[in-house]
Amino acid sequence: MSDRSAILGAIRAATRACEVPASQIASEAATLVAEATVVQPKFGGVSLVERFVSKASSERVTATVSRVDTMAEVPASVADYLNQRDQRMQLAVQPTVKLEQLDWAGFERLDDLADDGGVAVTLAEYGIAETGSVVFRSAADAPVLLTFLPLIHIVVLQASTILAYPEDLWSHLGGADAPQSRALTLVTGTSGTADIEAINVRGAHGPRSMHIVLVTE
Amino acid sequence: MIQTSEKFREHVAHALTDADLKIALTRTTGLLQSRRRQVIDEYPEYAQARIRAQAIKDHTLKHLGHYLEMFEANATANGAKVHWAATPGEARRIVSDICVKAGAKTATRVKSMLGEEIGIAEALADAGVERIETDLAEHIIQLAGEAPSHIVMPAMHKTREQVASLFDEKHGVAPDSHDVTDLVASARRELRKKFLSADVGISGANFLIADTGAIVTVTNEGNSELTCTPPKTHIVTVGIEKIVPGMDHATVLLRLLARAAIGAEITQYTTFYNGPKREDDADGPTDYHIVLVDNHRSEMLGTDLQPMLRCIRCGACMNHCPVYAAVGGHAYGAVYPGPMGSVLTPAMSSLEAAKDLPNACTLNGRCKEVCPVNIPLPDMLRTFRARQWEAGLTPPLAQWALKGWGFVARRPRIYRLASGLSVYGLRLWAFGKGRIRKMPLASSWLKYRDLPRPEKGSFMQQYNASEHAKRSRK
Ligand code: SF4
């Protein structure tokens, strides 16, 4: 007997009394997450953008946020950020149209972040107000490693894409039947560890600093 | 790892004299407790979320076969190769076969307890593959040649001073200083190139999503994505109980997991993996395997141990356990330490091999209280004690004492007299002080604990006295 049939057989034997039609199981499952507000942390009275910014820049998440009105202003804002930190004007830009079409003159472009210490600019698809997270999905124009290899991660986020809760994100993405990209990541701040005496340290393997350029347009 | 739970008493005796261990545990558990407390206080919906989390896990376990088949179908449609392993041995065989077929020389690994449970290190060694642990704590214990002592923070038993001298000795370039920040930077330097050149990446999964076929990993370090993206092959090994119906269900549990485990609202990186690299994707593995492991889980279904399958491996029960805080994780001599381990170890091996574990518990109830899925850990430990009694595994002295107690307890008048007398005796023994430090026949028990001086009189005596007082007031 294969391991598969042995395992499923043992499970069925142990749960036999509970065998019911799939539709009934599905409706039971749906009631368990109905009215999600019961379990979602409330942030009444505060706008999605305000909540997002306060969470992202909180002590636990440690990102910095700057705000611009239009996408065209992004490169200048990035330059300011790097200047203030005495960083070289050197960065990798995610190969996606919305970022590629901006004017990056004045920056030296990196196309490899294998050596440590680089800067990358990526475009988040969504923001999550509950936790101050930004959302990335792998694609031809969205390499996963761009989010993990730099030492400084600069994230461009359009205010209109900020959703309240992860539950809203799942429904935005079309639910279980929509095609899924290989990897969907919620990034909340920078790479950190508390593995030595529970002391929080940033920059474990991935970014040590995260800066979010929030675009109003 | 080789299970040595039967030597629990020896391990404990050893642990209690280890001064570094005491320092490491004290520095860590206090911080973890206060961070958890704070983040739960900030989440007024916690009580409701906990009720839902329990209901979600109970529902999924009730229909486990249905959901596993649904997951298998969806993951396969996503391009995953799904394997089933009834035993750790079978899981190891599957993993090493995949590595051999891939011609792998090196494998990066993200810590997962299931990987420890099946002995992933052995599987890779069998396949002639060099294993690179990427979680900082696992990196530390790999260098030290030790086993994990905690399920979320495997190197909890080490002080920063110990980590510093380990890195001085083993890292290609020694750390710039012994500051914790520089220690972390040193590990970063050591591991960076290895991430990018590995042939295989191995992860576990915190959740399996039945209706999409996704697996979920959560980390703070980002080592999951760095492990599961560059290599050509990604292997996931996961216990069958990790399944949930859908994304919304996982979200309820994710909120609790981060809060209970590390005192955060969410971990820094939460990734849903849906299969191998898509044709035009910029990066990702082309070969993607999921190994679903049983290892006695299906045996626990439908028994009084079933609630243990709700466990989301947050570690809160051990962070709040006085026994764990005194002896550390290694004393348990098994993959899973602390309260949840004292239930899982006998369930996954034998009652005999783990006979001391269910007894190493004060039944203070803190573990159940902090458990985000409300697992009745003290009740389950009591169940094991009862099974031990039935199997004649209870130590003779305890048997004799329990039988004596049983004789007296069935005779209410003698019981009241005896318990009243013993309270009187203990109060006398405390010599007017608040604590009892020494007592004949209990010297080893009291060596590391104080017994508070008892109240005046037994419960029944106090109850009768207060009833009497009430009546006379009327
Ligand atoms: S038993 Fe509960 S508290 Fe302990 S690790 Fe599992 S989920 Fe966490």
Q: Which residues contact B209 (CB under 8 A, 6 or more apart)?
A: B71, B215, B216, B243, B244, B245, B246, B247, B250, B272
Q: What is the CATH number of the domain that holds B261?
A: 3.40.50.10420
Residues B33 and B91 in one domain: no
d(C-alpha B256, C-alpha B218), whole Å:
13
Interface of B with A in 220-259 (CB under 8 A): 220-223, 225-226, 228-230, 240, 245-249, 251-252, 254-255
Mean pLDDT of B410-437: 63
The contacts of residue A178 (CB under 8 Å, 6+ apart) are none
Domains of chain A: 46-215 (3.40.50.10420)
What does the pLDDT look like over B183-212, one tens digit per residue? 999 999 999 999 999 999 999 999 999 999
Same domain, B257 and B364: no
Asked if B221 and B136 count as a contact pair (C-beta separation under 8 A), the reply is yes
Q: What is d(CA B358, CA B369) in angstroms, rounded to the nearest whole number? A: 18
pLDDT at position B33 over 90: yes
CA A84 to chain centre: 25
Could you identify the atom of ligand 1 that is nearest to the CA of residue B308?
Answer: 1
Whether residues B74 and B131 share a domain: the answer is yes
CA distance B158 to B161: 8
| B424 membership: H or E segment, kind and range | helix B412-429
Residues on chain B touching A60 (C-beta within 8 angstroms):
264-265
The answer to whether the CB of B194 falls within 8 A of the CB of A116 is no
Q: Do B266 and A188 touch (CB under 8 A)?
A: yes
A117 CA to middle of ligand 1, Å? Answer: 38
The pLDDT of residue B315 is 96
Which residue among B343, B378, B394 closes a domain?
Answer: B394
Q: Does B294 touch chain A (CB under 8 A)?
A: yes
Domain that holds residue B256: 58-300
Query: What is the layout of strands, in order, in the sheet containing A152-158?
Result: A64-68, A209-215, A152-158, A119-123, A90-93, A108-109
Domain boundary among B349, B367, B394: B394
Chain A: give the shortest CA distance to residue B284, in Å: 8
Pocket of ligand 1 (CB under 6 A): B 260, 311-317, 340, 370-373, 375
Establish if B90 touches chain A: CB-CB under 8 angstroms.
yes
Domain match, B145 and B247 both: yes
B104: left (phi over 0), alpha (psi -120 to 50) or beta: beta
Answer yes or no: are the C-beta atoms of B186 and B353 closer than 8 Å.
Answer: no
Residue B296 shares a structural domain with residue B348: no
B371-381 pLDDT, tens digit per residue, is 999 999 999 99
Q: Which of B248, B267, B279, B308 to mutate to test the interface with A (most CBs of A within 10 A)?
A: B248
Judge: A7–B86 Cβ closer than 8 Å, yes or no: yes
Q: What percent of chain B has pLDDT over 90?
A: 72
- Residue B350: its pLDDT value, please? 84
Q: Are residues B243 and B358 in the same domain?
A: no
pLDDT-derived band of residue A112, with 50, 70 and 90 as boundaries? confident
Residue B79: Cβ-neighbour burial (10 angstroms; 0-12, 13-18, 19+) = middle
The model's pTM is 0.89
- Which region holds residue B82: left if phi is over 0, alpha if psi is between -120 and 50, else beta? beta
Mutate to test the interface with A, among B111, B156, B268 (most CBs of A within 10 A): B268
Residue B370 lies in a domain: yes
Give CA–CA dist A178/A182, Å, rounded. 13
- The minimum CA-CA distance between A114 and chain B, rounded to whole Å, is 8
Q: How many domains does chain B have?
A: 3
- Average pLDDT, rounded, for chain A: 95
pLDDT over 70 (residue A38): yes
For the CA of B313, the nearest atom of ligand 1: 5
Task: Please check whether residue A195 touches B, CB under 8 A.
Answer: yes
Gap from CA of B34 to ligand 1 centroid (Å): 17
pLDDT of residue B201: 98
Band of pLDDT at residue B74, cut at 50, 70 and 90: very high
Mean pLDDT of chain B: 89
B225 with A147: Cβ contact below 8 A: yes
In a domain, B322, yes or no: yes
Residues B329 and B266 in one domain: no
Using the Cα atoms of residue A194, residue A198, residue A202 and residue A204 in order, give the sign of their dihedral.
negative
Beta strands in B26-165 (DSSP E): 81-85, 106-109, 130-133
Q: What percent of chain A has pLDDT over 90?
A: 90
Q: How far is B51 from chain A (nearest CA, A)?
A: 10
pLDDT in tens, A135-144: 999 999 999 9
**How far, in Å, is the centroid of ligand 1 from the Cα of B314?**
5
B378, B394, B410: which is the final residue of a domain? B394
Strand order in the sheet with B81-85: B81-85, B287-293, B233-239, B200-203, B106-109, B130-133
Contact B221 A95 (CB under 8 A): no
Closest CA to B92 of B71, B136, B69, B122: B122
B90 and B147 within one domain: yes
How does DSSP classify residue B456? S
Testing ligand 1's pocket by substitution, the residue of B33, B207, B373 carrying the most ligand atoms inside 8 A of its CB is B373
Q: How many CB atoms lie within 10 A of CB A173?
A: 18
Closest CA to A144 of B274, B250, B242, B185: B274
Residue B367 tokens read as: 């573990």
Which two tokens mark B39?
């983040």
pLDDT in tens, A123-175: 999 999 999 999 999 999 999 999 999 999 999 999 999 999 999 999 999 98
| Residue B387, pLDDT score | 85
Q: At what angle do helices B64-78 and A3-15 cross, to 10 degrees?
A: 140
Q: Would the CB atoms of A33 and B249 count as touching at under 8 Å?
A: yes
- Looking at the fold, whether B96 and B130 belong to one and the same domain comes out as yes
The reply to whether B73 touches chain A by the CB within 8 Å rule is no
- Is pLDDT above 60 for B441? no
Strands lying side by side in the sheet with A126-128: A162-163, A126-128, A133-137, A183-187, B269-273, B214-219, B207-209, B243-244
Nearest-Cα residue of chain B relative to residue A202: B181
Q: Residue A111's pLDDT band (boundaries 50, 70, 90)?
A: confident
Question: Are residues A142 and A100 in contact, defined by beta-carbon separation less than 8 angstroms?
Answer: no
B94 touching chain A per CB within 8 A: no
Expressed in angstroms and rounded, the spacing between residue B220 Cα and the centre of ligand 1 is 19
Q: Single out the residue of B247, B259, B191 nearest to residue B215, CA to CA.
A: B247
**What are B234-259's pLDDT values in tens digits?**
999 999 999 999 999 999 999 999 99
Helix (H, G, I), strand (E, B) or coil at B208: strand
- The answer, for A1 touching chain B at a CB cutoff of 8 Å, is no
Reported as a pLDDT band with limits 50, 70 and 90, residue B362 is confident
Same domain, B275 and B363: no
Alpha helices in B201-319 (DSSP H): 223-228, 247-262, 297-300, 316-319
| Per-residue pLDDT at A140 | 97
Give residue-wise pLDDT tens across range B306-331. 999 999 999 999 999 999 999 999 99
**pLDDT exceeds cutoff 80 at B393:** no
Asked whether residue B133 is domain-assigned, the answer is: yes
- pLDDT of B443 reads 57
Closest residue in A to B252 (Cα) is A39
| Mean per-residue pLDDT, B41-55 | 98
End-to-end Cα spacing for chain B: 67
**Is B84's Cβ below 8 Å from some Cβ in A?**
yes
Q: Find the mean pLDDT for residues B445-457.
A: 57
For residues B171 and B283, membership in a common domain is answered with yes
Question: Which of B70-79, B269-278, B375-384 has the lowest average pLDDT?
Answer: B375-384
Q: Does the interface predicted TM-score (ipTM) exceed 0.90?
A: yes
Return the percentage of chain B with pLDDT > 70, whole number: 84
Note whether residue B129 is domain-resident: yes
Residues of A in contact with B186 (CB under 8 A): none
Confidence of residue B93 (pLDDT cuts 50, 70, 90): very high
